[in-house]
């Protein structure tokens, strides 16, 4: 069995040899690929407690650039190994360059549009910084992405990320609609647009509530609004399904997205979804997704439209063909094995 080194900028917490992260995609993809490869993870060390336990043994976390480069150097010397870099950051860019020095061509998995993310975090300088890193990384690697546009004209494989199992597609619950309850599932980050959404909700006086599922166990952001409820990241699949079933509409306020997992979860549970214009590309041919402007008036109008046409919308949503986790992992395995 070939070794696969997964190199990530994700923060991983080490609790006496047990490792935890907040990004379910990193956990799920790593564990899933371990059925085909001997997976080793190299990632940043977190000082904060994280939510999802990674059920793998071979994990190395680094606290600084020196220890990081040392781990990459060790990995590069192992023969017949494959390398998967998740997302582009200064650290993962250095990993790509170092691997290339040892004549290793890594796979780089781009889950979202880094140009948009860096702009949301760093302002007008963000896209220029990301462009420099993307230019370097794309020269030395085999690209894998969930959207063609994220590749920016470069060659690469397209995959369909998904965390969905057959459980998500059965035993649907009826929405109550007596008091409209909106759900957001995702991390509380600037680039995810959640703080922009909270500002909009401050202007909503109608009987509508927002639930946020995605707070880290230790968070320096405190959200206190009367019409907003905040919950920690949910690690149990059944409990997460219940969150969708207990709400009427899902909302995704991100400024940039590639192939959002939570959106697929919402569609799987037959809950209509609202997104903002910045990410209207996520619609594709999916039924039940609605686009609004980033203001209270547009949002309220769309909520009321969905409420009035709920049964018809759900009927159309049943036609959606949603990718499953099993298919995604097979696509990733094939792309990694076929890369040079």
Fold equal for 3-162+326-338 and 166-317: yes
- Look up the CATH number of domain 3-162+326-338: 3.40.50.2000
Structure tokens at 290: 């609605």
| pLDDT tens profile 187-240 | 888 888 999 999 999 988 788 999 999 876 555 456 778 889 999 888 899 999
Where in the chain are the domains?
A: 3-162+326-338, 166-317
Rounded Cα–Cα distance for residues 254 and 274 (Å): 11
> What pairing do the DSSP bridges indicate for beta strands 181-185 and 249-252?
parallel
Give the per-residue pLDDT at 217: 58
Three-state secondary structure readout of 277-295: HHHHHHHCCCCCEEEECCC
Residue 34: the pLDDT is 95
Q: Which residues, in sequence order, are CB contacts of 269 under 8 Å at separation 6+?
A: 168, 172, 173, 241, 244, 245
Buried b / exposed e over 228-251, threshold 16 CB at 10 Å, is: bebeebbeeeeebbebbbebbbbb
Give domain 166-317's CATH architecture. 3-Layer(aba) Sandwich (3.40)
DSSP 8-state assignment for residue 120: H
Q: Which two tokens stand for residue 327?
A: 């298919």
- Chain segment 330-339, per-residue pLDDT in tens: 999 999 998 8
Mean pLDDT, the chain, as a whole number? 92
Residue 158, pLDDT above cutoff 70: yes
d(CA 62, CA 41) in angstroms, rounded, equals 11
The residue written with tokens 């919402």 in the block is 266
Q: What is the pLDDT of residues 285-318, one digit of tens each?
A: 899 999 999 999 999 999 999 999 999 999 999 9
């Amino acid at each position: 069995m070939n070794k696969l080194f997964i190199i990530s900028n994700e923060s991983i917490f080490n609790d006496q040899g047990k490792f935890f992260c907040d990004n379910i995609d990193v956990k799920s993809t790593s564990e899933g690929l371990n059925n085909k490869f001997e997976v080793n993870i190299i990632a940043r060390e977190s000082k904060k407690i994280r939510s999802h336990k990674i059920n793998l043994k071979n994990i190395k976390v680094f606290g600084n650039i020196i220890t990081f480069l040392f781990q990459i150097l060790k990995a590069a010397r192992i023969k017949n190994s494959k390398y998967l870099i998740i997302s582009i950051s200064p650290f993962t860019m250095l990993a790509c360059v170092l691997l290339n020095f040892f004549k290793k061509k890594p796979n780089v998995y781009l889950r979202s549009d880094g140009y948009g993310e860096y702009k949301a975090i760093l302002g007008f300088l963000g896209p220029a910084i990301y462009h420099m890193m993307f230019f370097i990384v794309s020269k030395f690697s085999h690209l894998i992405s969930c959207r063609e546009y994220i590749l920016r004209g470069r060659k690469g494989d397209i995959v369909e990320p998904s965390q969905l199992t057959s459980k998500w597609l059965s035993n649907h619950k009826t929405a109550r609609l007596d008091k409209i309850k909106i759900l957001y599932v995702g991390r509380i980050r600037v680039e995810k647009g959640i703080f922009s959404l909270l500002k909009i909700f401050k202007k909503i006086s109608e009987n509508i509530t927002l639930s946020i599922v995605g707070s880290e166990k230790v968070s320096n952001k405190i959200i206190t609004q009367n019409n907003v409820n905040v919950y920690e990241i949910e690690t149990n699949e059944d409990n997460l399904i219940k969150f969708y079933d207990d709400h009427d509409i899902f909302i995704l306020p991100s400024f940039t997205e590639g192939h959002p997992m939570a959106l697929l979860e919402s569609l799987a549970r037959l809950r209509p979804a609202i997104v903002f214009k910045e990410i209207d590309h996520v619609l594709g041919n999916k039924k039940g997704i609605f686009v609004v402007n980033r203001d209270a008036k547009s949002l309220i109008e769309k909520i009321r439209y969905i409420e009035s046409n709920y049964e018809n919308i759900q009927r159309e949503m049943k036609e959606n063909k949603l990718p499953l986790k099993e298919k995604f992992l097979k696509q990733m395995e094939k792309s990694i094995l076929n890369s040079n």
